[in-house]
């Protein structure tokens, strides 16, 4: 059980630190983005190389390294979106009279290039680790990808907590594609499906304790999926999840290069007037 607890705590720590680092770097003045992106692209290449190196290993350390490299790879890809390097062809708010399928297509256009980059990264990762004994990295990346899409769809369809102040100013137009509602029809399926798969992974991890590598690998992925489900609950529950990363918001610039104003709430500068909530 100690191995399972250690793996779960490692996943929790990496999720918390990784999210905080992206939020912190994204909150710095825009003039720093070129350096952050240059560093992230180097880290991305190193993470991909690390995933290839560990794909043939079946030690417990190989499971941890593959998991860490996959989470780091994902974080670097997310930075390319939030810092404006890879977004989409549409960079304007949703028209006020737009609804239904057209609104959905316009929303896809705001992140199309980034989504394609994620697909390419997943395909490259799958090819480089094809038939390798260590698939922890690919499992981890897949969980992050699917649960991020689930969260984005739930925000599009409407949830109570949109966390608008998490978005940088150059992406503030995305608020117009979000819906604020007490609940949407997709949310119960998202959390139920995620919880069910996470439970099955936990059960399997406990069942293969004779193989420490498989057991730890499954535990890492199960813990990450459980955290992704928790993030979904943050969208609907009155929980101040921003407090978890207060250290990342603390040094956000109030405007281009200026320090935060005294007494300003972390991330306050990102608040903009949203378009009226529309149905999907």
For residue 262, give its domain range: 2-268
DSSP 8-state secondary structure symbol assigned to residue 259:
P
Beta partners for residue 255, in sequence order: 258
Q: In terms of pTM, does the model score above 0.85?
A: yes
Domain count, the chain: 1
Q: What is the dihedral of CA 62, 63, 64, 65, to 10 degrees?
A: 50
The answer to whether residue 275 is domain-embedded is no
Q: What pLDDT does 68 receive?
A: 97
pLDDT band at 270 (very low <50, low <70, confident <90, very high): very low
Average pLDDT over residues 253-273: 41
The answer to whether residue 274 is domain-embedded is no
The answer to whether residue 18 is domain-embedded is yes
Q: Are 52 and 4 in contact (CB under 8 A)?
A: no
The answer to whether residue 276 is domain-embedded is no
DSSP 8-state secondary structure symbol assigned to residue 86:
S
The answer to whether residue 45 is domain-embedded is yes
The answer to whether residue 144 is domain-embedded is yes
Average pLDDT over residues 257-265: 43
pLDDT digits (tens, 9 = 90+) for 27-51: 888 899 999 999 999 999 999 999 9
The answer to whether residue 82 is domain-embedded is yes
Q: Is the predicted pLDDT of residue 97 greater than 80, yes or no? A: yes
User: Could you give the CA distance from residue 9 to residue 181 in angstroms, rounded to a whole number?
Assistant: 33
The answer to whether residue 21 is domain-embedded is yes
**Cα 185 to chain center, whole Å?**
22
């Amino acid at each position: 059980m100690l191995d399972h607890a250690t793996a779960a705590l490692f996943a929790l720590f990496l999720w918390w630190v990784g999210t905080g680092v992206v939020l912190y770097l994204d909150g710095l003045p825009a003039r720093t983005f070129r350096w952050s992106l240059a560093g992230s692209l180097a880290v991305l290449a190193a993470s991909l190389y690390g995933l290839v190196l560990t794909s043939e290993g079946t030690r417990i350390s190989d499971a941890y390294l593959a998991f860490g490299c996959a989470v780091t790879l994902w974080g670097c890809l997310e930075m390319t979106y939030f810092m404006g390097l890879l977004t989409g062809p549409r960079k304007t708010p949703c028209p006020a009279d737009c609804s239904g399928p057209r609104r959905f297509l316009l929303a896809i256009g705001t992140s199309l290039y980034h989504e394609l980059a994620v697909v390419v990264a997943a395909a490259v990762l799958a090819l480089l680790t094809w038939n390798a004994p260590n698939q922890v990295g690919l499992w981890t990346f897949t969980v992050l990808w699917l649960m991020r899409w689930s969260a984005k769809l739930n925000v599009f369809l409407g949830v109570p907590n949109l966390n608008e102040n998490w978005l940088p100013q150059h992406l503030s137009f995305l608020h117009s594609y979000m819906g604020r509602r007490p609940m949407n029809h997709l949310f119960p399926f998202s959390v139920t499906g995620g919880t069910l798969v996470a439970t099955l992974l936990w059960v399997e991890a406990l069942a293969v304790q004779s193989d420490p590598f498989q057991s730890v690998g499954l535990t890492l992925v199960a813990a990450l999926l459980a955290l992704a489900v928790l993030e979904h609950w943050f969208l609907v529950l009155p929980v101040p999840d921003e407090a978890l990363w207060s250290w990342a918001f603390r040094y956000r610039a109030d405007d281009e290069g200026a320090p935060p104003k005294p007494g300003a709430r972390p991330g306050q500068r990102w608040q903009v007037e949203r378009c009226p909530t529309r149905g999907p």
